Structures are given as C-alpha cells and as structure tokens.
C-alpha cells in the first residue's frame, strides 16, 4: 500500500513541473528577469510591463534582461452587438 501511495505522490510532483511558470503574470506582455548576483537579492521575474522600452528603462543599470512574456494572455476582443434592422411596414 505504501508503494502505491509513493507512486501516486511521485507522479503528482512530476506532473506539477517547475514552479518557474508561476512567476509569469499572464496580464502583462513583457517580463524583466532580474539577476541578483553573488551578494544576495536573488533572481526573480517581474512581469508588470506593457512594452519592451518600458521594461528596458527599469532594467537600465541593473543585472536584468527584458523579454516577451510567453504566458501573456491578451484579453478577448469585445463582443460586437448584433445590428438589428427595423423594417418599415
């Protein structure tokens, strides 16, 4: 029974995959990858930019790089209302 539970747990962990994909905010098209260096700060991803130039302005002078967000999900286009024609009798 323990082997079966272990197999199920191992499968669930393998299915979850890396957590890096969770760092990407699907609401913004551009992300900045910040590299903390050896004195702390850590590496992180900031997906709060609407354009590459906007991201590059924030990344300037830092150990950072801007890229297109692979998980960006643009909002769907607004639904158009059906145009009804009125017939004159």
User: Is the pLDDT at 12 greater than 60, yes or no?
Assistant: no
What is the tens place of the pLDDT at every residue in 21-75?
Answer: 457 999 999 999 999 866 666 899 999 999 999 999 999 999 999 999 999 998 8
Q: How far is CA 33 from the centre of its chain?
A: 12
pLDDT, position 67: 97
- Token digits for 68? 């297109």
Determine whether 37 is exposed, middle or buried from the number of CB atoms within 10 Å of its CB (0-12, 13-18, 19+): exposed
């Amino acid at each position: 029974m323990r082997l079966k539970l272990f197999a199920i747990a191992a499968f669930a962990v393998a299915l979850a995959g890396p957590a890096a994909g969770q760092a990407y905010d699907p609401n913004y098209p551009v992300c900045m990858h910040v590299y903390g260096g050896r004195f702390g700060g850590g590496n992180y991803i900031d997906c709060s930019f609407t354009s590459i130039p906007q991201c590059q302005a924030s990344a300037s002078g830092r150990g950072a790089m801007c890229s297109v967000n692979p998980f960006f999900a643009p909002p769907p286009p607004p639904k158009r209302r059906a145009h009804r024609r009125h017939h004159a009798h």
